[in-house]
Amino acid sequence: MNRHSISSARGLSALSHRNYRLFFGGQLVSLIGTWMTAVAQSWLILQLTGNPFDLGLLTVFQFGPVLILGLFGGLVADGLPKRRTLYVTQTVAMGVSLLLFVLAATHTVQVWHVFVLATIMGIRNSVDMPTRQAFAVEMVGREDVGNAVALNSAMFNVARIIGPAIAGLAIGAFGISIAFLIDALSFLAVLLAMFLMTEADLRPAPRFIRPTSAGEVFTNLADGLRYVRRTGMVLLAITLIGVVATFGINFSILIPPLAANVLHVGASGYGFLMAASGLGSLLAALAIAFGGTRATRMLIGAIVLGVAEILIGGIANYGVDLVLMFAAGAGSISMMATANTVIQLEVPDELRGRVMAVYTTVFAGTSPIGGLLLGAVAANAGASEAIAIGGAVSLVAALLGIIWYRRLPRSAAGSLTLRRRPAAVSAVRVLDQAGPGAPDPAGVRD
């Protein structure tokens, strides 16, 4: 296998698993609604206050809880049945969207309402994100997890194309509230999909004894952090994601004021800018699904994202910016999907939830920091300048990442196999399901 190869997964192999097909279809419908809410929520804040800095505050409320609670969410992902956990998190999200619909439809919505509901979603995300990431391998097995990650990215970005485009048109025709209603109803699709799954076909990871004291909780959290620190490629992937997520992936904060105040294209134009980014991301995800992934893709993707954002900041032309948003979307998903696959294939099953919690905490939890910084820049200097700064930082991070990658030992930078790695930490206690004294599985696992 080539030195830079990560996965030999090709095409649609993950879709050969019935449970994953159900998950794929339900999530696709639900994510279209989620992207509609993302567009509507940002546009609502801009209408209520007119200040891009408040979009940065929205990110703090929505993703700040992930920064604080994300690692604990990994313990939940490892210690509770993932399918049942997702029932709860998806139902909470549906309730939040219903409340936003009622508030917007009755014209009683205030900024603090949006911030409180965003905080609830942030708490929910701290559990939902690592659980969904870790659930993929239970549906398809380690042999198809790379393909599942790529297809998940494709699914996410199909929704990213359709959702913002529909949202922009729907908001222009019917008002903001309709986007929240469609999102709430879309969650029924994923709930139905999980209900129809065949439990016997799932491949649950080895179980660990859930901690019963604060000391055990922090010991188990440390297991995931130690694994990341000691695994060169995983540490590189998470560090790159952290820097670029902080400065380069702030579309929901910076594109609304760019559309409204620089390009003057309104809600519909904003929707199509986001859809162009989604189209680029979709094609990049499909390229990974059918062509496999290489470690260098995440570095090249970050370079493409950074250059595209620098150019968006310097070219105030709607047609050109549509093309550049396409490139930015392709670069961002190449980076993120490859980093995700690196981690999924390296991590031992019994640590998966905690390590993926590190990934999601860094990815989502750093957004409030970048959101506040770049929101303040946009409010004082302009959206174009903020986008260009974020792109420049992303580009520098990618170039430094190339140096880091070239210095990794050959075994760390080389091919990742689909073997099960032994747990490298003593605090993880895997249960022998056939052994005496094992607790009742009904209380722990699906």
What total of structural domains would you count in the chain? 1
Average pLDDT over residues 228-257: 84
* Residue of higher predicted confidence among 446 and 103: 103
Whether residue 103 is predicted with pLDDT greater than 90 in this model: the reply is yes
In a domain, 137, yes or no: yes
214 pLDDT band, cuts 50/70/90, is: low
Q: Could you give the CA distance from residue 283 to residue 279 in angstroms, rounded to a whole number?
A: 6
pLDDT for 226 equals 79
Greatest Cα pair distance in the chain = 69
Confidence (pLDDT) at 205 = 62
Identify the CA nearest to 337 among candidates 121, 146, 188.
146
CA–CA gap between residue 25 and residue 23 (Å, rounded): 6
Query: 343 in a domain, yes or no?
Result: yes
pLDDT score, position 206: 60
> How many whole angstroms separate alpha carbon 279 and alpha carbon 276?
5
pLDDT band at 437 (very low <50, low <70, confident <90, very high): very low
Judge whether 1 lies within some domain: no
SS3 of 250, please?
A: coil
> Looking at residue 430, what DSSP letter applies?
B
144 or 20, higher pLDDT: 20
Residues written for the chain: 446
User: Domain for residue 140, yes or no?
Assistant: yes
pLDDT exceeds 80 at position 142 = no
Q: Whole-angstrom Cα distance, residue 283 to residue 156?
A: 12
- pLDDT of 415 higher than 50: no
Average pLDDT over residues 301-330: 93
Question: CA-CA distances (angstroms) from residue 337 to 291, 343, 359, 436?
Answer: 13, 10, 12, 41
pTM (2 d.p.)? 0.64
CA angle 12, 16, 19 (to 5 degrees): 115
Asked whether residue 171 carries a pLDDT value surpassing 80, the answer given is yes
Q: What pLDDT score was predicted for residue 93?
A: 94
Work out the number of other CB atoms within 10 angstroms of the CB of residue 210.
16
Q: Residue 444 domain-assigned?
A: no
Are 284 and 334 contacting, i.e. CB atoms less than 8 angstroms apart?
yes
**pLDDT above 70: residue 22:** yes
CA distance linking residue 92 with residue 283, whole number of Å: 31
Model pLDDT, residue 434: 32
pLDDT at 64 over 60: yes
Contact 109, 100 (CB under 8 A): yes
Residue 394 has pLDDT above 90, yes or no: yes
Mean pLDDT of the chain: 79
Per-residue pLDDT reduced to its tens digit, 348-377: 766 766 777 777 777 766 777 787 788 888
Mean pLDDT of 153-157: 76
DSSP-assigned states of every residue in 318-345: HHHHHHHHHHHHHHHHHHHHHHHHHHHH
Which pLDDT does position 220 carry in this prediction? 64
* pLDDT at residue 7, as a whole number: 40
Pull the structure tokens for residue 437: 């004294």
Mean pLDDT of 321-332: 93
CA-based R_g, the chain, Å: 21
- Does residue 3 form part of some domain? no
Q: What is the CATH number of the domain that holds 363?
A: 1.20.1250.20
Q: Write phi, then psi, for 364 (nearest 5 degrees).
A: -85, -35
Residue 443 lies in a domain: no
d(CA 173, CA 38) in angstroms, rounded, equals: 18
Determine, yes or no, domain membership for 4: no
When pLDDT is cut at 50, 70 and 90, the band that residue 50 belongs to is: confident
Range of the domain at 20: 9-198+209-429
